[in-house]
Amino acid sequence: MSCFRKAACAAAVGVLSLAAHAQYLATPLESSRAWGVVVADFNGDGRDDLLISGHDSDDRIWYATDTGYQPGEQVLDWVDRHDCDAADVDRNGRLDLYCAVGGGKGLGQGPKELWLQDDTGRFVKQLGHGADDPYGRGRIPVFLDVNHDGWPDIYLTNEATVRPDGNVNHNHVFINQAGAGFVEQITRATGAKGFQCAERGDVNGDGWDDLLVCDGKRPAHIFVNDQAGDFVEWQTPANAIGWKAAKLADMNGDGRQDLVVLTTGNYVQVWPNTGSGARFDAPVFNLKLGTNGRALTVGDFNRDGMRDIYVVMARTDCTQSLVDVAPDLMFQGRPGQRWIKVAQAQDSYPGCGHLAATLDDRRVLLLNGGVSHSGTNYVLSWGE
């Protein structure tokens, strides 16, 4: 979901709360059964565009314009498309798409898609690109440069159930052959490593791409690039538990990527990057949520120069009622590594909180449609 560019609450540290709702503007886009989203500047105008993918037949890019987000003319062929990521695969100056496709619940096939953008802005599906993985139950793909050659490679997560036909169904690394397709490379990140989240970053600040992977209720994975075509797996206090979602972002302005996670135990945590040792030694923010947290995203949403955290909330019974009575939560950054909790009411929006992404570092794309239910997707903005 990224673009290759560039014992309880008593344990909380530096947490404040506000009862009043922050004022925001919600702009609806479309109603869908969303699975994932990719945010990227597809037309090169300096503004983030977006593609919401999922269990619908009209996946298309929404382009940012002076009058809001407008749907593109091209509709991608319908498949069981889950999540996508964007990168300039052939290095022609235009962003392309790679999308994970389901594998028929582990009983059928779902070749993964590579769409190259031509000079007219149209996306053309490629065949035989080498990262097809037809038997994988595709979930989240991430572009990263494993071998540091400037060509975007792929990390693909799959829901690694055992297939009765014996075909391989797990996570893969595919190496870009200078724009002439992909070849699989076996690494420590290959295998049944989890599929709930995947995130590219640079944990140790050496300029080489690293990787985070959520593995359900099992300990999460931090794969640090060994600069020799593989990864070293780090064990830190931060990934000793399971994560639902994770982001790498500089939360305190020291130039290092910190770790923001939503744990399977329903805690929101911020782990500062110390720059040495395990990097993530102790959280400066550790808050138990009162209801079910689904996802999070990070940006400067109130435009005060501080990093904020937006957490998507939804009660477990929401998919029956389709009325989301659990307010989302904004944690507004304050000096001294503190965050102020501000409730964001969502009960007037159809659907249930499912996923969120950051647009242009100041807006939230909120997906209220989920894998099994329709809902409206909104762009939320503050102070614009």
The tens digit of pLDDT for each residue in 204-218 reads: 999 999 999 999 999
Nearest to 236 by CA among 220, 251, 252, 225: 220
Residue 14 has pLDDT above 50, yes or no: no
Mean pLDDT value across residues 368-376: 90
> Reduced to 3 states, what is the DSSP secondary structure of residue 11?
helix
Mean pLDDT value across residues 270-276: 97
Mean pLDDT score of the chain, rounded to an integer?
92
DSSP state of 351: B
Mean pLDDT value across residues 353-375: 94
Residue 5 has pLDDT above 50, yes or no: no
Torsions phi, psi for 61 (to 5 deg): -85, 135
Residue 3 has pLDDT above 90, yes or no: no
Give pLDDT, residue 22. Answer: 61
Mean pLDDT value across residues 21-36: 86
Q: Between residues 16 and 155, which one has the greater pLDDT?
A: 155
CA-to-CA distance for 106 and 246, rounded, in angstroms? 26
Mean pLDDT value across residues 317-322: 87
CA-to-CA distance for 358 and 109, rounded, in angstroms? 32
Q: Which residues of 91-122 are buried (b: 16+ CB within 10 A; e: fewer)?
A: eeebbbbbbbbbbeebeeebbbbbbbbeeeee
Give pLDDT, residue 24. Answer: 84
Decide: 103 and 76 in contact? Cβ < 8 Å: no
